[in-house]
């Protein structure tokens, strides 16, 4: 077995400590576009705690993706210019509290060496726990390092993605993003200038800053939340998506959704450019 494979596979970081409050919860909800209509009571429940008539603040399930921003299994020594986010899979063990002190346990799950000039996919997970040590959420991320393959890792095959039904979608919805949405979302933790600096974006090969992939991921959660979940955040058991193309802030994201029992399949497109931005999406409700 190659030393590089063993190095990556052995990465682990246990007991990372984080804390968040209702401020971060509301900021994330605004970052994925909830509250765009300040009179929509369903969305206000995620961005405003209620004053005249108090009501409990709700937490968007995918807030889990930023609750312990910066956590991870350790330094992977990758060519960061060539690294892209490939997939995200979050399992929700219980509803996230509005404010909490949490710990994050991170480890590498598997390393898929695709060969020289083909890159490597690194799957790693982070388990979020409350102060009692109870699991809140398990996050699994697939990181595609396009410039780091061919180091002699085992010939492994990645699990097959969730298959989208072949029938026509049961529902289709449009979600409009704001031109400044990436500037708001970056305040949740991801300060990558690709999403905020026009000069940096052009040097990276884009005509202007792109929306964070994880913001698009949150938008797909929002799409399921407002349709089949009836704004019940506690109904989410799992939310999976694969990233296939970026969204530019201000574009309209069109979600196609299929319902089969408690499983919601989805894909997302930007029709104006004829591109699919999210593939093989699946939400499990319960």
Query: Which residues neighbour 187 within 8 Å (Cβ) at sequence distance 6 or greater?
Result: 27, 31
Q: Is 173 helix (H, G, I), strand (E, B) or coil?
A: strand
- Enzyme catalytic residues: 190, 195
Question: Buried (b) or exposed (e) across 173-206, using 16+ Cβ within 10 A?
Answer: bebebeeebbebbbebbbebebbbeeeebeeeee
CA distance 148 to 186: 27
Locate the DSSP E strands across 146-270: 171-176, 236-243, 252-260, 263-270
The count of other CB atoms within 10 Å of the CB of residue 38 is 9
Query: Which residues neighbour 201 within 8 Å (Cβ) at sequence distance 6 or greater?
Result: 193, 194, 195, 207, 208, 209, 210
């Amino acid at each position: 077995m190659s030393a590089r494979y063993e190095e990556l596979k052995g990465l682990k970081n246990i007991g990372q400590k984080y804390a968040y409050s209702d401020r971060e919860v509301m900021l994330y909800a605004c970052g994925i576009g909830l509250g765009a209509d300040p009179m929509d009571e369903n969305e206000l429940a995620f961005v405003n705690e209620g004053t005249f008539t108090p009501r409990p603040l709700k937490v968007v399930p995918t807030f889990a993706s930023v609750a312990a921003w910066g956590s991870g299994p350790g330094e992977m020594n990758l060519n960061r210019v060539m690294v892209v986010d490939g997939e995200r899979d979050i399992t929700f063990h219980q509803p996230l509290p509005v404010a909490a002190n949490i710990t994050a346990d991170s480890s590498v799950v598997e390393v898929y060496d695709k060969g020289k000039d083909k890159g490597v996919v690194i799957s790693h997970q982070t388990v979020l726990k409350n102060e009692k040590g109870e699991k809140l959420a398990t996050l699994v991320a697939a990181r595609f390092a396009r410039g780091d393959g061919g180091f002699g890792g085992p010939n492994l095959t990645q699990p097959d993605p969730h298959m989208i039904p072949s029938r026509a979608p049961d529902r289709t919805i449009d979600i409009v993003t704001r031109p400044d949405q990436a500037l708001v979302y970056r305040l949740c933790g991801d300060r990558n200038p690709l999403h905020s600096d026009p000069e940096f974006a052009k040097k990276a090969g884009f005509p202007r800053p792109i929306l964070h992939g994880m913001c698009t991921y949150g938008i797909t959660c929002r799409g399921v939340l407002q349709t089949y979940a009836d704004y019940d955040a506690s109904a989410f058991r799992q939310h999976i998506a694969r990233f296939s193309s970026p969204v530019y802030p201000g574009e309209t994201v069109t979600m196609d959704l299929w319902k089969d029992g408690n499983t919601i399949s989805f894909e997302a497109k930007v029709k104006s450019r004829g591109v699919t931005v999210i593939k093989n999406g699946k939400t499990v409700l319960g």
